[in-house]
């Protein structure tokens, strides 16, 4: 499993997920969206990643300022 923490990365998360899936094709890619206000989770899902359902609801630790 690959875990990718992110915040407001809609413009780049698709490529990041695709790159991990290419290099590690058997790994599940969990995207830990830390309360993004953009479409980070949607873009991650489109690229084949699995957005963390707890992070999407603001239940994970928020490390950004």
Return all residues near 16 (Cβ < 8 A) that are at least 6 apart. Answer: 4, 6, 9
Per-residue pLDDT of 3-47, as tens digits, reads: 999 999 999 999 999 999 999 999 999 999 888 899 998 999 999
Residue 61 lies in a domain: no
Residue 64 lies in a domain: no
User: Which pLDDT value is given to residue 35?
Assistant: 85
Residue 63 lies in a domain: no
Q: How many residues does the chain have?
A: 65
As given in the structure block, the two tokens for residue 40 are 């980070």
Residue 20 lies in a domain: yes
State which residues form the domain around 51: 2-56
Return all residues near 40 (Cβ < 8 A) that are at least 6 apart. Answer: 6, 7, 8, 9, 10, 13, 31, 33, 51
CA separation for the pair 55, 51 (Å, rounded): 8
Q: Is the pLDDT of residue 63 over 70?
A: no
């Amino acid at each position: 499993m690959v875990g990718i923490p992110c915040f407001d990365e809609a413009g780049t998360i698709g490529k990041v997920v695709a790159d991990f899936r290419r290099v590690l094709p058997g790994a599940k890619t969990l995207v830990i969206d830390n309360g993004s206000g953009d479409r980070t989770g949607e873009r991650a899902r489109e690229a084949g990643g699995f957005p963390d359902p707890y992070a999407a609801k603001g239940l994970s630790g928020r490390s950004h300022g």
